[in-house]
Structure 1
Amino acid sequence: MNNKKSAAQAEGFELQELHELGEYLAKQDFSRESDPAAVLRQVRSRSIQKQQEDDRMKNKQRIRRPVMIAASLLVAAVVSVSFVRPSFAQEMLERVLNSVHLGHIEVAQMDGSHPKEFPDAWKGKIFDQEGNPVTSFNPMPEAIFNAAGEAIVNFDGDKLITLSEQEQLDKEASEQKFTVKEAVKLDQYALFKVKLPEYLPEGFAFDHGEFYKDEAGVSGQIVELFFASKDKDKRIWMQLRLANEENAFSMATDDKVEQVKIKGTDAVLVSDRSLDWEANGVMYGLSTRGLDRAEVLKIAESINW
């Protein structure tokens, strides 16, 4: 890692970058990056689980993800406006605890202890199971509802998304995907050699890969790989991207961020469950749930890039 560059980025979130963050997040739905049933109540203490993993499964259903920031880092409503105050930029600066930069990948660890202000736009619109209004993130009920009693499972900027609305969004997103069931056929569509782990924990097996569609058909820039297990409490998911500026991304999280080595290559490990690295023109993202640190590293080490 270029320490000088990393330090400069950690110390210098530009106002313009935060402006772009606000505009970007305002358009997001976080449907794949987070556990839908818990997104809002985890704004302060992310599961991401996923969440780093889920948050990254959340990895926006987009070919281009210029900036990604975890739901637990910022309340979407805070940055969903078209401008960001200089005082907010300074606050963000002070909250950066660690930053790792790897080619087209950047991950920042933020101080998540700062209290979050409940968005005015949500007041009077969120209720608990008994119908009591929810006006604070501390605590946030495990289940929340709108005034009509519909379960709220997600958000898009200030907009609260109900279960039925999310199901429609997921349906539309699935229509923009192309599924490949056989691992040997993945290379027919990817713009790079798709490398799968040679080691998987007992009970896991490759299930399918997903490519995005664009105007020209199937885009080979990004492939998502899913591995099935009979144990529903465990999960392995990967995302491979062609390493270029279009697919470069930044993430911020209040989980632990650590720079590690995978077969001599620099990688960033988040919360001992998720790994990102870049090698031979490909960006690798490995997300897991229910596995320990040693297993996560072993899976990554088994990929012969």
Structure 2
Amino acid sequence: MRKKKAVQPDFTEQEIQELGRYLASQDFSRESDPAAVLRQVRSRSIQRQQEDDSMKNNQRIRRPVMIAASLLVAAVVSVSFVRPSFAQEMLERVLKSVNLGHIEVAQMDGSATPVFPEALKGQIFDQDGNPVTSFEAMPKAIFNAAGEAIVRFDGDKPITKSEQEQLDKEASEQKFTVKEAAELDQYALFKVKLPEYLPEGFVFDHGEFYKDEEGVSGQVVELFFGSKDKNKRIWMQLRLANEENAFVLSTDDKVEQVKLKGTDAALVGGRSLDWEANGVMYGLSTRGLDRAEVLKIAESINW
């Protein structure tokens, strides 16, 4: 049986220009092994980037341009590479798209290997100092010209381990930790709803807010749940639903549109959920839990 191909509209010149402006303002860095990102360059899930990066992804543009932008998840395509044929190719790779209001989730075909961009040539090397010029047979570890290990990318700029450590330090100074669940509502701009059901062994550990010039910002809160089983993890992010906090996710994992108590939600890879309800954007990420448990946790939240 021939596989049905997703149909997407053509790009106009105005949309291409808009996409270029959008890409120029975004940070597509990822919390993951950089060599694996470059090796696969598939649309890895944007879900739950490093907390500091997720705050930067706050601009929305007209669909379907936004969908194409969300697919540039490896941060290896500079604005100069955004051309009509490329943008149309990216749209054609979208297999499924789920619109949840201020959240967009796109499943794409990650089988195609993209062209290695000129912006990265001469910037990354293997452990023997040989330049990396192709996504084919990527080395497990990559380095800059000075031999420093590269841990991720900020746009088309390689970030070394030492640079990342400094960024992490600065990011940690911009966080405000709340240990007691009952105190979360004192800082959030919305009612913080925690799951009433957690798998055996899990308990609420702490919440984190961001700081801004005026003090603690209540627009976003991240919730962490601890377990003695280190192979299992539950993490949530709640955002005030507005244009500033809107974001896109893209992945080559399976995306399912499901219902949570009558509310549309996107289930990615059977282990993470995103939905919007009553002015709040919910993101639930798990590790080591099955699909049924993930859904049960989400459905136990009385939003």
- Show the counterpart of 2:31: 34
Matches within 5 A, 1:200-215: 200-215=198-213
Q: 1:143 to 1:255 in 2, by over 3 A?
A: same
Report how far residue 240 of structure 1 moved.
0.4
CA–CA separation in structure 2 for the residues paired with 1:124 and 1:130: 14
Q: Percent identity?
A: 72
- Show the counterpart of 1:24: 25
Matches within 5 A, 1:110-259: 110-259=108-257
Q: Residue by residue, what CA displacement relative to the aligned partner does 1:179-204 show, whole Å, maximum 9, x if unpaired?
A: 11111110000011101112222222
Unaligned stretches of 5+ residues in structure 1: 1-6
CA–CA separation in structure 1 for the residues paired with 2:122 and 2:285: 36
- Show the counterpart of 2:88: 90
CA–CA separation in structure 2 for the residues paired with 1:91 and 1:71: 13
Matched residue SS, 1:190: coil
Report how far residue 130 of structure 1 moved.
3.9
CA–CA separation in structure 2 for the residues paired with 1:114 and 1:83: 17
Conserved 8 A contact 1:108-1:251: yes
- Show the counterpart of 1:4: none
Conserved 8 A contact 1:34-1:58: no
Conserved 8 A contact 1:109-1:253: yes
Conserved 8 A contact 2:260-2:299: yes
CA–CA separation in structure 2 for the residues paired with 1:42 and 1:158: 15
Matched residue SS, 1:77: coil
CA–CA separation in structure 1 for the residues paired with 2:273 and 2:17: 28
**Equivalent residue pairs, number:** 289
CA–CA separation in structure 1 for the residues paired with 2:122 and 2:210: 38
- Show the counterpart of 2:100: 102
Q: Residue by residue, what CA displacement relative to the aligned partner does 1:122-145 show, whole Å, maximum 9, x if unpaired?
A: 233322334443222222222222
Matched residue SS, 1:166: helix
RMSD: 2.7
Report how far residue 255 of structure 1 moved.
2.0
Counterpart of 2:41 in structure 1: which amino acid? R
CA–CA separation in structure 2 for the residues paired with 1:16 and 1:297: 40
Unaligned stretches of 5+ residues in structure 2: 1-5, 61-65
Conserved 8 A contact 1:73-1:254: no
Q: 1:94 to 1:183 in 2, by over 3 A?
A: same
CA–CA separation in structure 2 for the residues paired with 1:82 and 1:58: 28
Report how far residue 257 of structure 1 moved.
1.3
Conserved 8 A contact 1:73-1:253: no
